[in-house]
Structure 1
Amino acid sequence: MAVNVPGLVVVVIFYVGILFIGIWASRKSKKAEKSCAGTKSEVTIVGGRNISVLVGVFTTTATWVGGGYILGTAEVVYSPKQGLIWAIGPPAFAINLILGGLFFAKPMRSKCYLTMLDPFQHRYGNMFTATLLLPALVSDILWVACILAALGGTMSVILGLSSAISISISAAVSIFYTFIGGLYSVAYTDVIQLFFMFSSLFICIPFLVLSPAVTDISQAAHVNQSNVNSWLGTLELADAGKWADEMLLLALGSLAYQALYQRILSAASSAQAQITCLAAAGVVFIMGIPSVVIGALASIADWNQTAYGLPPPIERGEAGKILPLALQYLTPSWLSVLGIGSVAAAVMSSMDSALLSSASMFTQNIYKTTLRKQASERELQWVIRVTILLVGLAGMGLAFKGESVFALWLLSTELLYCIILPQLICVLFFGSSNIYGAVCGYIVGLLLRLLSGEPILGIPPVFLFPGWREEDGVITQYFPYRTLAMLCSLICIITVSKTVEVGFHQRLIPQSWDLLGVFKENIEVPREEEPVCMTQLLS
C-alpha cells in the first residue's frame, strides 16, 4: 500500500502541535515548582494540586477515552457474535467515574495522598506495598500496548505506514512530553486531544450515514433480527455470566487505576475532585457514541460497493481495525485523515497517563521510601523520567504483537480488578483490615485468576467453571470467574483480618506468632506518617 502523503503531513502537524503544547506545559510546571508550597515531585505527580475543574474533566475523560475505548467499542459492535449489547465500555466507564466520585474521591483527596498506594504504605508498610506495585505496573504496560496497537492498526489502514513505524513514532512523542512536563504536560495536551477527538469523530458520522454502501440502519436493526450480522447483537442466557463479568471488570476494575487518583489528587479540594469525576462520567459516555455508530454502520455496509471489496473485514480477521476501515472506505479521503488524528489523540491522551501512573507509584512508594530514603528532589525527578521511558518501551514492545485491541483492553484491567480493588476497598473502608488478611487476600485473588487460565497469554485453565466451552481448540470461560476471584479476595481479607485480630486480642493465638508485629502488647508499632497537605495548611 502506498503511503498517504497528505494524510501523513496532517498527522505530523498534529504531532508537532502536541509537542509544542507539552513543552509549554513543562515550562508552566517549572514555574509551579517555584511558587508551589509542595515539593517538585508533588508538582510532577499531582500538578501541585491546583488543576482546575475544567482541565480536570478534560484530562480525566481523555484518559478513559483511549485507543482501546474507541477501537474496542467499534470492534465489538461490528462483530457478528457480539453487537451493541456487548459494547460495555461507555456505560461501564461512566459507572466507574460515578462510583469514583461518590465513594473514593473524598477519602483519598481529604488525606492528601500522592498516589493510590499511599494508604497501603501507611497501614501495611513498604514490603507489601511493593507487591501491589507489580500488578499495577503490568496493567499499565498492557494498557500502553493496547492503545499503541490500536493506533498502529489505524495508521496502517489509512496512511499506509507499517504498524511498527506508527507505534514507534507515537510512543516517542508521548514519552517525550510526559518525560519533560509530568502531569501539567499530560493535562494540557489532554485538553487539545479531547477536543480534536470529539470534533473529528462526530463529523465523520453524517458522511458514514450518507455513504452509498450503507443501508438504512433503522431498517437493518429490524430486518436482520435473524441475521448474524445484526448490529444490535444478542445476549443468550448462557452468555450472561461472561457479559456481567466483563461489565463489572471495566466498571469496578478501573477504580483501582492510579490514573484515576492522579486526577482526583490533583484537584484543589475533595468537592472539586468529586465534581470532576461526575462531570467526566457524562462526557466519557457521550464520547463512546461515535464508535458505536461506526461499528453499527460498518456491520450493515455492502463492502462490495467499496474499494475494499469482498470478503468483508470480519471474514478477513480485521474486525479489530473496523473503525479505520470504515473511515477509509466509507467516507471521503480527507475525512479519514481526521479520523486517524482522532485515534492518535486518543492514544496519546491515555498513554501519557499510564506512563505517569507507573512512574509516580514507583518513585513515591518504592524508590523514595525503600530504596533511597534520602534521595533529593532532583534525583526523584530523574527517577520519574527514567521510569516513564522504561514503561513506554515495554508497552511499545508488547504492542508489536498485534493482539485484539478489545482483548488487551480487558486484560489490562484484570489484575487491578482481581487483586488491587479488594485491597483498596478494605484499606479505605474497613479499619480492621490488617496485613495478615491483606497477604491472604492477595494470594487468593492471584491464584484464582491464574488458575482460571488466560488464552491471550497461552495459560490453560486448571479450574473449569460451569458453562465453559472449547472453540477452535481454545477454552473460554463463560462463568464470571474474574468477579469470583475479586469477591473471594475481598472476603478473605476481611475474614482473615478479623479472625487474626480476635485471636490475638483474646489470647487464642500466642503473641509469639505475631511475626509482623501488628498486635504486640505495649509496643507502638511505627507507621508511615500521614501526608500533610501544604495547600490546606496555607488555607
Structure 2
Amino acid sequence: MINIAGVLSIVIFYIVILAVGVWAGRKKEEGNDSEEEVMLAGRNIGLFVGIFTMTATWVGGGYINGTAEAVYTKGLVWCQAPFGYSISLVFGGIFFANKMRQQGYITMLDPLQDTFGERMGGLLFLPALCGEVFWAAGILAALGATLSVIIDMDHRTSVIFSACIAVLYTLFGGLYAVAYTDVIQLFCIFIGLWMSIPFAWMNEHVQPLSSIEHEWIGSVSSEDIWSYIDYGLLLIFGGIPWQVYFQRVLSSKSADRAQVLSYVAAFGCVLMAIPPVLIGAIAKGTAWNETGYKGHWPLTADETGMILPMVLQYLTPDFVSFLGLGAVSAAVMSSADSSVLSASSMFARNVYKLIFRQKASEMEIVWVMRGAILVVGFLATVMALTIPSIYGLWSMCSDLVYVILFPQLLMVVHFKEHCNTYGSLAAYLVAFFLRLSGGEPLMSLPALIHYPGYDEVAKDQKFPFRTMAMLMSLITLVAVSWGTKYIFLSGKLAPGYDIFHCVVNIPEDVQRVGEPAEEGEQLSMMATAAIGKGYGAATLVGKDERNGRINPALEADDDIPAAEVDRLRSSVGSGGGGSRTSVAANPVLDNYQTKL
C-alpha cells in the first residue's frame, strides 16, 4: 500500500524544486537567447552558486547510493569515487579550467573540433553523449527503486514524474535553473542524510561500528592491487572530460574563479561523502533479518544496490526516512538535469551547428538545444524503464570517456601543435578496440583478450587494461600525428592526399587564432562566414551583439585596460576564425611544388 505521507512529501519537494527552477530561469536576461546566456548562464554564475553547482557535478544519486553500497559490500578502502572525483576536480582546476576558460569556449568539444575538424569532433561527441544519457538513465532507475522501497510507489510512475520535473525547468531555464536548483538540492542531500544517521546508528539492531571495524573499512589484496590502481586512475583522469564539469568551468566569470570553484568543489565532494559512508558502515553492522526487512538474507546484489534507502526505511522513523527520501530525490535530480543539459548543449552547438548548419542563428541553436533536451530526457527515461543493465552501459561509456576523450583533450589543450586529425582518428579506433576487447561483466560482454591475472571464474580483468588503453591511445595520437605530418611536410606524399585537410592541403579560409595577448585574456575564435564559429571574450559578462564581432561588454569590464580593448577591437577585422592550422604555416606547399 502506498504511503500517502511519503507521496505528499515528495510532491511538495518537487513543487519547491520546480518553483526554484522557474524562478532561476527568469534571471536570464530578457530578450537575450544567445548560446552563452542559455548554455553558460551568460558566464555570470556567482561564487556562492558556482561552488554549489560545481560540487553537484559529481554529488548526485549515483554518488551517494554508490558510496553507501561500496562501503557495505567491499569496505571503505574500495570506496574510491569520493576521493577520485575530488582529485579529479583539483587536477581539472590546475591543468584545464584556466586554459579552457581563457579561450572562452562554449562546450568541452570546442577545442577538439578546432584542432581535429568538425566531423572528427562529431565522432568524439558519441562517447560523451552516451556517458551523459546512460548516467541520467541509471540514476532515474535508482530513484524509481528507492521510492518503491520507502513509500511502495510504482517505480515507473516515479521515474516518469521525476524526469518530467527535471526536464521542465531545464528546458526553460537552461544553466540558470540547473545551477540554482543545485543549491537547494545539495542542502537537501546534506540535511536529509545527516538527520537520518543518529536514528540509524542508535537502532537496537545495529552493532557498534568499533566491533566490525575490519569489515566496514575493508582491505585490498595483493592480487587486486593493479585493478585497484586502474579504477582509481579512471576516476581521477576519466572524471575530467565531462561536459557537466566544463559547463560550470566555462560559465564562471573569469579563469581564476573557475579554478577556485574546482578546488572548493573538491573539498565539497569529500564532505558530502561522509554521510553515505557512515550509512554504509551502519548497514554493515545491521542484522537485517531482525529488522522489518523481509527480503533475501544475506543480501543479494540487487539489495546491496539499495542499501541507502533500506537504512532509511528500516532503521529510522517515518518522518526521518521521508527527509532522507527527499535527499535521494534531490541527488538524482541534480545529476539528471545536468546530464540532460550537457548532452543537449553539445549536440546543438558541436553537431547541429558546426557540422550541419554553420550559419544557423543564435535563436535557432537555442531552440535546437531545447528540442534536444526533450529528446535526451525521453531517451534517459525510456532506458531507465526498459534496460536492466543501465549501470553496465554507463560503466562502459565512462570507460570510453577515459580511454578516448581524456588523451585527446589533454593534447589539444596543452600540446595542440603535436596532434592532428589523422592521429585523432587512429587513437579513437585503438582505444575503442582495446576497451571493448577487455570485456564488461555487467553487460555480459566477453573479454576477447585475457590480460595477465585474468579471473576465469569471475570473468574479471585484474590487469589495468583501461589505463593501458588510455596510454596506447595517447601514444597512437602523437605517433600517427607526427608520422603524417612528416610524410606531408617532407613531400613524400602530395598535398592532394591530405584528405582531412589538416597538414598541408588546408582551405584558404581556415586560420588559427593568434596566441593570447600578454595583457588580459585572449579574445578567441571570432566567427568567420565559412566556419561559423564564435567564442566570446574569456572574461566578458553581459550582452553580445552576436554578429560575429567583439562583445561590447569589453567596455564594462574594468579589468581590461583601454589600450587592450582597442587592440582587440582592431584585431577582429584583421583575421579571426580558426581551426586546425595556420595558412601562414603553408609555405610547405611552395616547397613541395619546388621539389616537383
Q: Does 1:517 align with 2:511?
A: no
Residue 354 of structure 2 is aligned to residue 362 of structure 1: no
Structure 2 counterpart of 1:478, from 458, 462, 475: 462
Aligned to 1:321: 306
- State the 1:144 CA deviation: 0.5
Q: Find the counterpart in structure 1 of residue 58 from structure 2.
A: 64
The range that moved more, 401-410 or 328-337, is: 401-410
1-structure distance, mates of 2:387, 2:208: 33
The alignment status of 1:507 with 2:491, answered yes or no, reads yes
What letter matches 1:392 in structure 2? Answer: G
Query: Does 1:532 find its partner at 2:536?
Result: yes
2:389–2:443 Cα contact (<8 Å) kept: no
1:311 Cα offset (Å): 4.2
- SS, match of residue 306 in structure 2: helix
After TM superposition, give the deviation of residue 220 of structure 1 in Å. 1.5
Partners in 1 of 2:289 and 2:422 — Cα distance?
62
Secondary structure of 1:29's aligned partner: coil
Query: Does 2:109 match 1:117?
Result: yes
Question: Equivalent residue for 2:412?
Answer: 427
Q: Could you tell me which amino acid in structure 2 is paired with residue 446 of structure 1?
A: F
Q: Does 1:450 align with 2:431?
A: no
Q: What corresponds to 1:43 in structure 2? A: 37
Change (3 A) 1:209 1:123: same
Query: Which whole-Å deviations, capped at 9, do the CAs of 1:176-201 have from their partners, x for residues lacking one?
Result: 11011100000001110001111111
Q: One-letter code of the match for 2:431? A: G
- Contact 1:125–1:528 at 8 Å: present in 2 too? no
Q: How does 1:237-386 map to 2 (within 5 A)?
A: 237-309=222-294, 311-312=296-297, 314-315=299-300, 317-386=302-371
CA separation of 1:521 and 1:61: change in aligned 2, threshold 3 A: closer
CA contact (8 A) 1:71 1:405 kept: no
Aligned to 2:454: 468
Name structure 2 gaps, 5 residues minimum: 514-524, 526-534, 542-552, 558-596
Match of 2:549 in 1: none
The DSSP-based 3-state class of the residue aligned with 1:110 is: helix
| 1:498 and 2:482 aligned | yes
- Measured against aligned partners, the alpha-carbon deviations of 1:100-130 in whole angstroms (never above 9, x if no partner) come to 1111001100000000011122222211011
| Native 8 Å contact 1:313 1:319 kept in 2 | no
SS at match of 1:318: helix
Please identify, of 140-149 and 407-416, the stretch whose mean Cα deviation from structure 2 is larger: 407-416
- TM superposition shift of 1:76: 1.2
Q: What letter matches 1:537 in structure 2?
A: L
Deviations 1:410-453 (A, max 9, x none): 33421211111111011111122111111111111111111222
Q: Which of 177, 181, 192 is the matching residue for 2:173?
A: 181
Q: How far off is 1:11 after superposition? A: 0.6
**Aligned partner of 2:99: which letter?**
P
Query: What is the identity, as a one-letter code, of the residue corresponding to 1:268?
Result: K
CA contact (8 A) 2:383 2:390 kept: no
Equivalent residue number for residue 145 of structure 1: 137
Deviation at 1:309, TM superposition (A): 4.8
For 2:505 and 2:265, locate their aligned partners in 1 and report how far apart those are by CA, in whole Å: 48
- Cα distance change on mapping 1:164 and 1:375 into 2, 3 Å: same
CA RMSD of aligned residues (A): 1.9
CA distances 1:201-224 after superposition (whole Å, capped 9, x unpaired): 111111111111111101211xxx
Q: Is the 8 A contact 1:112 1:532 kept in 2?
A: yes
**Letter of the 2:254 counterpart:** S
Which residue of structure 2 aligns with residue 18 of structure 1?
A: 17
How far apart, CA to CA, are the structure 2 residues paired with 1:275 and 1:412?
29
Q: Equivalent residue of 1:532, what SS?
A: coil
Query: In terms of mean alpha carbon deviation, does 182-191 or 381-390 score higher?
Result: 381-390
Question: Structure 2 CA distance, aligned partners of 1:182 and 1:335?
Answer: 33
Q: Deviations over 1:44-64 (max 9, x none)?
A: 110000101111110111121
Work out the CA distance in 1 between the residues paired with 2:506 and 2:218: 63
In 2, the alpha carbon distance for the partners of 1:152 and 1:105 equals 35
Give the superposition deviation at 1:528: 7.6
Kindly indicate whether the alpha-carbon contact (under 8 Å) linking 1:517 and 1:525 is maintained by their aligned counterparts in 2.
Answer: no
- Deviation at 1:499? 2.2
Deviation at 1:238, TM superposition (A): 1.1
Q: Give the 3 Å change call, closer, same or farther, for CA 457–408 of structure 1 in structure 2.
A: closer
How many residue pairs get aligned? The number is: 522
* Residues 53 and 275 in structure 1, CA contact (< 8 A), matched pair in contact too: no
CA distance in 1, matches of 2:316, 2:304: 18
Where does 1:202-213 land on structure 2 (aligned, <5 Å)?
202-213=194-205
Instruction: Tell me the SS of whatever aligns to 2:449.
Output: coil
Code of the residue aligned with 2:7 in structure 1: it is L
Runs of at least 4 residues off by over 6 Å: none
How big is the shift at 1:267? 0.4
Distance across 1 between alignment mates of 2:394 and 2:70: 12
In 1, Cα distance between equivalents of 2:399 and 2:486: 33
Q: For each residue in 1:379-406, what CA deviation from the matched residue of structure 2 results, as whole angstroms up to 9, or x when unmatched?
A: 2222111111111111122222575786
Q: Give the whole-Å Cα distance in 2 for the aligned partners of 1:390 and 1:482.
A: 31
Name 1:172's counterpart in structure 2: 164
Contact 2:67 2:276 in 1 (8 A): yes
SS at match of 1:54: helix
Point out the more displaced range, 304-313 or 320-329: 304-313
Compare the two structures and name the one with the higher helix fraction. Answer: 1
Letter aligned with residue 21 of structure 2: G
Instruction: Give ranges in structure 1 of 5+ residues lacking alignment.
Output: none
- 8 A Cα contact 1:246 1:410, kept in partner: no
In structure 2, what is the Cα distance between the partners aligned to 1:387 and 1:164? 23
Deviates more, 1:455-464 or 1:108-117: 455-464
Tell me the SS of whatever aligns to 1:115.
coil
Which of 70, 79, 85 is the equivalent residue of 1:93? 85
Stretch of structure 1 that moved more, 498-507 or 126-135: 498-507
Change (3 A) 1:218 1:403: farther
State the Cα deviation string for residues 48-102 of structure 1 (Å, max 9, x = none).
Answer: 00101111110111121111101111111111xx221110111011001101111
Residues 523, 18 of structure 1: alpha-carbon distance in 2 compared, 3 angstrom cutoff: closer
Shift in CA distance, 404/198, structure 1 to aligned 2, threshold 3 Å: farther
Aligned residues of 2:384 and 2:390 also touching (Cα < 8 A): no
The aligned amino acid for 1:470 is: E
* SS of corresponding position for 1:308: coil
Query: Aligned partners of 2:453 and 2:312: how far apart in 1?
Result: 38
Letter in 2 for 1:74: A
- Structure 1 equivalent of residue 582 of structure 2: none
Alignment match of 1:103 (pick from 89, 92, 95): 95
Preserved CA contact (<8 Å) 2:170 2:178: yes
- Superimposed CA distance per residue, residues 129-155 of structure 1 (whole angstroms, 9 cap, x where no aligned partner): 110111111111111012112211111
Structure 1 residue matching 2:411: 3-state secondary structure: helix
What is the identity, as a one-letter code, of the residue corresponding to 2:81?
A: G
- Partners of 1:28 and 1:487 lie apart in 2 by 44
Deviation (angstroms), 1:522: 9.2
Of 99-108 and 496-505, deviating more is: 496-505
| Residue of structure 1 equivalent to 2:378 | 393
Report SS of the residue matched to 2:131: helix
Q: Which residue identity lines up with residue 12 of structure 1 in the other structure?
A: V
